[in-house]
Amino acid sequence: MARREEIYGTSFGVGQLVVDDGLPVEHALPDLRRARPPRESSDRWCDLLRRYFAGEEVDFGFAVDRYVVYAHMTPFEADVVRALARVPYGRTASYRDLAVAAGRPHAYRAVGSVMARNALPIILPCHRIVRSDGTLGQYGDDPAWKHRLLELEGADVACADRIC
């Protein structure tokens, strides 16, 4: 299999996913401004993402170790991503919690940098990582996405950031 771009539609808009040899490697969240293609992808990953955005708890069964190698991650980044992949659906953890889970308890700011570079939102659920004070923090170009995603998962989300 070669590297290919897949498109899928949701009530949140049209999402894009790049898959390389069966491994998701880049994901753009759905956007209402993105044109819906005449025929959507039937790729398994797109089906899982459609189900997720429909409110279903999905087990992506993502090969984290394979992705870590593909993305040429440092040992620190790999530890953080492995810990991130274990944060359960509908739950949140703080950057500090994630640093501890990655075996680097004092590196919570560096954990934030890893989250900011996450090329696979949803599949690697960086939206579940919040600040230690419980506020949501940033999330790409549209911080309101973090609230939407946590709400979709049924997480207990306080609108402390007033980005809701």
Cβ atoms of residues 126 and 117 within 8 Å:
no
Beta-carbon neighbour count of residue 132 at 10 Å? 11
Joined tokens for residue 80: 């953080």
E strand or H helix at 26: strand 23-31
Nearest in space to 122 (alpha carbons), one of 39, 75, 57: 57
Joined tokens for residue 43: 């790729």
Cβ atoms of residues 147 and 136 within 8 Å:
yes
Catalytic residue among 46, 126, 159, 164: 126
164 part of the active site: no
Cβ atoms of residues 80 and 103 within 8 Å:
no
Name the CA dihedral angle for 45, 25, 34, 152, rounded to a multiple of 10 degrees: 60
What residue ranges in 21-164 does DSSP mark as E strands?
23-31, 93-94, 129-130
Residues with a known catalytic role:
126
